[in-house]
Structure 1
């Protein structure tokens, strides 16, 4: 195999749910992909694949980054197209989890594989060494297990499992492809049942079910206890079972029970009787509309094993326990759970205790290091912290002592003793600066040295690893400007959800001054998602109120009580609107804040050095306005971008309307502006948010010159490379356009006519219409003739004036009040 082996074309064998979605993610990454299945008995021989591709259109969340990518998946069947496998550098088998079916397929395709092709089985737990026996010895060197988590586009984890004969360099090439091309987090697992994530995750779920039954806790109460307050997904425990499918969950548990006869927790892999009954009745969860939960009308009902029927879901956390769950210090949280004799607290302590116990006993068997175990749970099950991270944060020796006490008292699910390495008096945990502990080698293992990881300047961090980024240039309560020794300055927001505050606007102006004086470029990048979800309304409101001689009256006064109960809000996703909402009753202050935001946007656009927005996750309202004014945007595929101020009855006024109108004029190239303007107007008026960076490009938020990266941990690396390339070409800012053609009165009339039809059809409300008319006025350049020439400041002034007019409307105020109280938009 050549040193620069590249995976150019991929074949996926099996067009079931998983195979089709793996193929979808391949084309998301612009990898040429063949999707195979058995030839259809009637009609088109590729009929099974064609139907699977049609299913991708309906799947939620969407497997494709853009509907247009669907046509890039090439249908194929085993009867006609096996010779095309010779073209493929990687073949992924993704059929049902049956050893006999998989090995039969291997025998069919083996003669058609290329000489350097890597062959991988997508399996969640079948023995890789067992599967490998079907291949001749030379092919075993190119065979491995590859475990994508569903849905493959969104789940970060991929487990790689070599067989005994797999050549290390083949695994390295595959890992680099998965990390950089597909954007995945790779964990190398050992060939043990369930590998790492499913082994630990299934035990965690099953032990939770066991303790819930033992303590007679209702299912909805368990979900209230085991969700986001523990750093787990909102689906918690029983809703997760519904999403997975009760039949799938039962099948995986049964498979693990059969293959783990010597596991000290073997009895835990028996599924409860009630679950078996629901499966038998066809109540399989989300896919059948009924499982643990069932929606009846507007109400959610939950299955009650005692009643053997459904009842209204109303599970609650004990009032005394709520403060404990809000505690962020794991040491204090665990101390409180263990000492609290209430049923709910003791349930949670038991769940954590047995999870810690299981991980400690099995880590040496299933994982090379604690890093792999914790990342498997974070990336594969969506936990904010891995179990060993939590144990370390709670005090390693203290937890180990409590575990030994409960083991001795017979309280744990297994009497298995803790391994000696756990209770070593010198042990403070399993993650240190030098690496993560390996029970097998009894040393701390550093991270992988594969070249692909050099692109991750700041990879996903574990507890105990350094968290500081680069050398500080300046640091305030709102932002930190820093560098990494490459003459490129980076600005990172420190506000909650990276919301835009008045102080942050000042810091951005300061950063632009500093960058122009001393640095080759400025990058805006956040260490964690999102890029920006809006503005800190409460902080700005308080600042505005205290700036005046008297407390704000009218609208602001009415909301004083609500504001005291809201730490922050993202009004309609967060745009300039939220910043200035706070200032009703102080019009001069409102205009000042708008002008400052517009100043920041224009400075980003016309700075003497290149500016790069490195975006990831939510990029809404004001965050979108900041990014679209930068010289370049580098976006992760999972960037969700939009100008959404209309959700609270306002319009973008930090340059967002201006910039979209200007782009429409540029695209028209002297021709009819209106067709280009119409799509930008619709995006803003309807508050449309892209569901991927690819769709953001189609919507016009990303330009052809902007970049999309698949792995969020490579985002800063690519942004720096882009900034350096711009700087290397003696970058000059764009010339300020002296004149911008606008659609004028004719354009406004056309947009209003379209909205009248929507209003009469009941698709929008009267206030939606009123807001849309204001957006139309700004984007068309106001009361001027069609084709008139205006400058940027003209459009910015229109933004400010129309924003203030909308802010004075009672229905806009109702929308803002509703957003403050309910954290979701009101369509009045």
Structure 2
């Protein structure tokens, strides 16, 4: 059947329910959010009193940080109510999601009521993380069971991309297929098909990993600070590492899941790992449960001088103490290596206690995942997908095993006393030595059932540029141009935070030249954590400190000319940003023919923060767009002022949707891609579409309306007011005046039409003059040292 989702009812408005409701609202569907009537309002007839629980929960969610919504306006898509008065309304809804307390009797009681009103064929799913899915639907009708399954979102639903789909034996296959597709395309999720086993996939593997770490650290005598240093970004895991993750999730939740696996998985060969250590039981007993109670493995406090301080728990004494920065020789050697895969090899090969811990950490993990196939999933890639999307792992466990060498690691594991599932040994005996391989740009995985490689699902919908290395057309030290098929080329670069320096600019120019010669067009994107943190400010700082202003002038010209090359190439250039897209990264997007942005794109012109103005065409482009937006119904300065303030306040959109509001993305032209993994494929499709529709090179503008002295006076007055009210420092005011001067076209006596190049020249001159300011250099130095500009 053809199924569409226009209305979703969410039953339960707790932390998960309210945020699931917000995420659905952000995708444009109508949401009904219901919860119980407060005990004190049972006799009341006032909706405000009867809906107090749900309304308070929704307001708390909206005010929480990070925001659960892409844009504040989406909240209007949510209607609230209560189970007693509003449950009959679900008869109009296409999908009902239950997110109430984790008790089987309460859930089944609610389902009994739901079945009275739910329309036949409507989806009904549960967000449970601990109750077997098949038990929830016991006693329900055949139609209910056919359309029922688990849909396990991870918290926070907007940001954690995992959605586990858990069918029962009664779930219709059409329902499973629909949810897998809908979650991917419309909710932006990595949808993972899981079996109805305790803790499903991600929590089963994730909690094993944490409990295994607890065991290893006790044996090796490591502290919490030492384990945190070893199990975070160093090995491709989030900054929250192990113990901070436990504090965020809730130590009681961790213990409950571990106990649940221990009790419900009698045949788990590693069942003993899930036994709760005495010190962990003590934390639960003390109600030191993490963030929810204000202390857990870590505790925030105030030092003697009133400054904030984070203390760490000593597991031997169960007392909090000052944090200590650990030092390990193997870590100091490996840390400077940017490549995670190379770093892992070096770390595991070390000879100190850190290396020993990481060897046991990986051996235990590899052993465990090998035994979970086919128990929790028939396909190994689903385990990796779940851990990457649900726990923020940079690469999955089977991929890590490939990195360290499957055959070599198996030998070392067995010598160290770890068992390996027979199917892995069979794979190696058949001459297959890796779980994954890449052929013709497609990633394949080893399938245990057929004992052969199969392509990962997704095909053309998910383009991973690193899979196209054999299709490299051109490269330099920091960037590569790939042929991604169908006449489209794709450029990516790999620098620290994907900053843009000389080699990247060279790559952009070369890629456009090659695309004009041999391809239909060019995609600019990358597989990293962020699109780009902007221009390489270290290079700017070096030129300025050494007073190499001719060199700096050339560098700015090169940046501007490259952005204009993006705008005025003879083939379409489409950019696919995600994550941080700041400064020069934003300027590249502003000049592209089209933007295919991940919903989670944080984009803006932030140069004012380091005492500069956007110098790669960003100031020019905002001025040009302001001119095009001016109309007779409002004073011309209003539009210009709004654009000016976006730059002057270094405003960053907190989602691609906000990027439209800021005028960085263009309505009816640029696209938001819900699933980040699809953005490059969508950008490729857009290149082909633009080319096939008869793409023509735009004509450089010479008719940009600038307002001159009249608008300049108004902007200067506003800047002076901010300075007098102490909202701006002396240097803030100086930089803002330079920005205003450029955006008004200079001190012109009247409104004029100018060219893009005229504005670029003004922009470059202002940028150069600010580069020589001592306070600008102090700000840049602050960024280089600490990652944050100083306020001076």
TM-score of the two chains, using structure 1 as the length reference: 0.88
SS of residue paired to 1:615: coil
Shift of 1:649: 1.1
Is the 8 Å Cα contact of residues 146 and 160 (structure 1) preserved in structure 2?
yes
Aligned with residue 419 of structure 1, among 413, 418, 421: 421
SS of residue paired to 1:80: helix
Alignment pair present for 1:346 and 2:356: yes
Is the 8 Å Cα contact of residues 584 and 590 (structure 1) preserved in structure 2?
no
Q: Provide the residue aligned with 1:548 in structure 2.
A: none
**Cα distance in structure 1, aligned partners of 2:511 and 2:394:** 32
Shift of 1:320: 4.5
**Cα distance in structure 1, aligned partners of 2:567 and 2:357:** 55
Is the 8 Å Cα contact of residues 367 and 421 (structure 2) preserved in structure 1?
no
Q: Provide the residue aligned with 2:500 in structure 1.
A: 500
Shift of 1:302: 0.6
Shift of 1:794: 2.2
Q: Provide the residue aligned with 2:28 in structure 1.
A: 30
SS of residue paired to 1:811: helix
Deviation by residue 1:324-348 (Cα, 9 ceiling, x = unmatched): 56665869956864772x4333333
Is the 8 Å Cα contact of residues 303 and 310 (structure 1) preserved in structure 2?
yes
> Map of 1:726-737 to 2, 5 A cutoff?
726-737=690-701
The structure-2 alpha-carbon separation of the partners of 1:76 and 1:786, relative to structure 1 and needing over 3 Å to count, comes to: farther
Aligned with residue 12 of structure 2, among 7, 11, 14: 14
Shift of 1:388: 2.1
Q: Provide the residue aligned with 1:82 in structure 2.
A: 87
The structure-2 alpha-carbon separation of the partners of 1:207 and 1:516, relative to structure 1 and needing over 3 Å to count, comes to: closer
**Cα distance in structure 2, aligned partners of 1:357 and 1:139:** 39
**Cα distance in structure 2, aligned partners of 1:351 and 1:23:** 38
Aligned with residue 561 of structure 2, among 590, 594, 599: 599
> Map of 1:181-196 to 2, 5 A cutoff?
181-196=186-201
**Cα distance in structure 1, aligned partners of 2:286 and 2:35:** 31
Aligned with residue 436 of structure 1, among 416, 430, 445: 445
Aligned with residue 640 of structure 1, among 583, 602, 612: 602
Alignment pair present for 1:254 and 2:259: yes
Q: Provide the residue aligned with 2:629 in structure 1.
A: 667
The structure-2 alpha-carbon separation of the partners of 1:780 and 1:125, relative to structure 1 and needing over 3 Å to count, comes to: same
**Cα distance in structure 2, aligned partners of 1:319 and 1:764:** 46
Is the 8 Å Cα contact of residues 636 and 712 (structure 1) preserved in structure 2?
yes
Aligned with residue 315 of structure 2, among 305, 320, 325: 305
Shift of 1:310: 0.8
Aligned with residue 135 of structure 2, among 117, 121, 130: 130
Shift of 1:505: 2.4
Q: Provide the residue aligned with 1:650 in structure 2.
A: 612
Shift of 1:583: 8.1
Is the 8 Å Cα contact of residues 752 and 773 (structure 1) preserved in structure 2?
yes
The structure-2 alpha-carbon separation of the partners of 1:676 and 1:287, relative to structure 1 and needing over 3 Å to count, comes to: farther
Deviation by residue 1:113-145 (Cα, 9 ceiling, x = unmatched): 222212111121311111121322232111111
**Cα distance in structure 2, aligned partners of 1:517 and 1:382:** 40
Q: Provide the residue aligned with 1:376 in structure 2.
A: 386
Alignment pair present for 1:404 and 2:386: no
Deviation by residue 1:252-277 (Cα, 9 ceiling, x = unmatched): 22332332344333333233333333
Is the 8 Å Cα contact of residues 225 and 317 (structure 1) preserved in structure 2?
no
Point out where structure 1 has 5 or more consecutive residues left out of the alignment. Answer: 542-554, 557-580
SS of residue paired to 1:591: helix
SS of residue paired to 1:114: coil
The structure-2 alpha-carbon separation of the partners of 1:815 and 1:68, relative to structure 1 and needing over 3 Å to count, comes to: same
**Cα distance in structure 2, aligned partners of 1:202 and 1:642:** 38
Shift of 1:820: 2.2
> Map of 1:713-724 to 2, 5 A cutoff?
713-724=677-688
CA RMSD of aligned residues (A): 2.6
**Cα distance in structure 1, aligned partners of 2:488 and 2:421:** 48
Shift of 1:793: 2.2
The structure-2 alpha-carbon separation of the partners of 1:436 and 1:740, relative to structure 1 and needing over 3 Å to count, comes to: closer
Is the 8 Å Cα contact of residues 491 and 523 (structure 1) preserved in structure 2?
yes
Alignment pair present for 1:823 and 2:787: yes
Aligned with residue 100 of structure 1, among 82, 102, 105: 105
**Cα distance in structure 1, aligned partners of 2:280 and 2:410:** 33
**Cα distance in structure 1, aligned partners of 2:340 and 2:491:** 28
Shift of 1:236: 0.8
Aligned with residue 271 of structure 1, among 271, 276, 282: 276
Q: Provide the residue aligned with 2:370 in structure 1.
A: 360
Is the 8 Å Cα contact of residues 228 and 241 (structure 2) preserved in structure 1?
yes
Alignment pair present for 1:800 and 2:764: yes
SS of residue paired to 1:366: coil
Deviation by residue 1:169-189 (Cα, 9 ceiling, x = unmatched): 211111110011111111111
**Cα distance in structure 2, aligned partners of 1:826 and 1:187:** 44
Deviation by residue 1:530-553 (Cα, 9 ceiling, x = unmatched): 222223456x57xxxxxxxxxxxx
The structure-2 alpha-carbon separation of the partners of 1:582 and 1:361, relative to structure 1 and needing over 3 Å to count, comes to: farther
**Cα distance in structure 2, aligned partners of 1:110 and 1:808:** 71
Shift of 1:448: 5.9
Is the 8 Å Cα contact of residues 363 and 373 (structure 1) preserved in structure 2?
no
Alignment pair present for 1:210 and 2:215: yes
SS of residue paired to 1:161: strand
Shift of 1:151: 0.8
Shift of 1:472: 4.4
Is the 8 Å Cα contact of residues 534 and 586 (structure 2) preserved in structure 1?
no
**Cα distance in structure 1, aligned partners of 2:240 and 2:347:** 24
Deviation by residue 1:169-214 (Cα, 9 ceiling, x = unmatched): 2111111100111111111111110111111110110111122233
Shift of 1:527: 3.5
The structure-2 alpha-carbon separation of the partners of 1:598 and 1:418, relative to structure 1 and needing over 3 Å to count, comes to: closer
**Cα distance in structure 2, aligned partners of 1:283 and 1:744:** 62
TM-score of the two chains, using structure 2 as the length reference: 0.91
Q: Provide the residue aligned with 1:227 in structure 2.
A: 232
**Cα distance in structure 2, aligned partners of 1:470 and 1:632:** 27
**Cα distance in structure 1, aligned partners of 2:614 and 2:789:** 16
Aligned with residue 612 of structure 1, among 566, 574, 582: 574
Shift of 1:435: 3.8
Aligned with residue 642 of structure 2, among 670, 673, 679: 679
**Cα distance in structure 2, aligned partners of 1:329 and 1:640:** 24
